Structure 1
Amino acid sequence: MPTLSLEINNQFNALARPEAAARALFEALQASGAFPITEGELSIAFVSDAEIAQVHADFMDDPTPTDVITFPADEAMDSAGEIIVSVDHARTRAAELGEPFSRELSLYLVHGWLHLAGYDDRNESDRAAMRSAEQKALSILDSAEHKIEFQLKA
């Protein structure tokens, strides 16, 4: 199994200690072998809508907030990639859908991982493959040995 290290940066004050849940999520995905990614350091950042909108503007010329942004691996820098997720977006969208916050945030992390594994969602057929892979990955997480639970501070 490839070596993967995690660098987790929680910049969203209302997110309660996400490190253990994020580690369990990525370890379960990696251990499954279903969606292999490049070895190296995987950087994860939990941010606000304002922060992700700034990244979106700086790197993609789109100043709007989004759910997740993924930067690809760079083997020369021993990087497995970077996943930036908006906790604000997950909280809002979970409420709109009547889904648990933790499930929505997990979906964003899964989505980022799948981009690193080579999935894309730019056209209809790619989106269908991505949605199918997301469901498979969420099923892997549902059957993981340790429950994966992200929580907001009260």
Structure 2
Amino acid sequence: MTPRPIEIQNRHPRLRAPVAQVRRVIALLDAHFRILPADLPTFSPAARARCRSATAEPQPSALAAGELSLVFLTDPALAQLHADFMDDPSPTDVITFEGDAAAGLAGEVCVSADTARAYAREHGHDFATELTLYLVHGWLHLVGYDDLQPAKKRRMRAAEARALKLLAAHAAIPAFALAAPPPPRRPRAR
């Protein structure tokens, strides 16, 4: 299996995002993540069609072929995308844009490193694992999972847990690091 083209953009000034490790996350998900048959009824018809092989068994990767774009952003930058494309200016953790298979695009996943850091601190989680979860969440949206209804949200949360377990078993959680913001500048005494 040829690795999928992945465009990674780190637009967060304080985030250290190890590109090779991020690529490995996507390669492992593409190659080894399995859609459970019980999850298929919650998918759109197009997503269900991508998930079926000739033998009607779920395929390891139901993500459409083509380039996948991953973008790491600050809270204000992701909130601006949220406002521009979803008419909601509130901060969020992940925004996923569906691709166009005919154009060779699998989709785009935009994540907020700031939100991951805040959530990880607030809940006693590891920052790198939290930010990886956001990548997984976006990838799962592109595969066909949805989280807008309670039953679909439960399926997605279970899929997230399976994906993180897969990545942990392969020691594939990227070593993300986010430097603390610089202290506020004090005005000079004259």
Report if TM-score (shorter chain) is over 0.5: yes
Is 2:159 aligned against 1:133?
yes
Task: Give the aligned CA root-mean-square deviation in angstroms.
Answer: 1.5
Is 2:152 aligned against 1:115?
no
Give the Å deviation of 1:108. Answer: 0.3
Q: For 1:106 and 1:146, locate their aligned partners in 2 and report how far apart those are by CA, in whole Å.
A: 10
Post-superposition Cα deviations, 1:73-114, rounded to whole Å, max 9, x if no partner, equal 211221010000001100100000100100100000000000
- Match of 1:144? 170
- Match of 1:21? 21
The share of aligned pairs that are identical, in percent, is 47
TM-score (norm 1): 0.94
Extract structure 1 runs of 4+ deviating beyond 3 A: none
- On the 8 A contact 2:17/2:175 being kept in 1, the answer is no
Query: Residues 125 and 11 (structure 1 numbering): CA distance in 2 closer, same or farther, change over 3 Å?
Result: same
Structure of larger gyration radius: 2
Q: For 1:17 and 1:138, locate their aligned partners in 2 and report how far apart those are by CA, in whole Å.
A: 18
- Match of 1:12? 12
Give the Å deviation of 1:30. Answer: 1.1
TM-score (norm 2): 0.77
Give the Å deviation of 1:38. Answer: 0.7
- SS of 1:72's equivalent in the other structure is strand
- SS of 1:71's equivalent in the other structure is strand
**Aligned length, in residue pairs:** 154
Q: For structure 1, list consecutive stretches of 5 or more residues without a partner in the other structure.
A: none
Post-superposition Cα deviations, 1:2-44, rounded to whole Å, max 9, x if no partner, equal 6511000000011113312211211111120424201111001
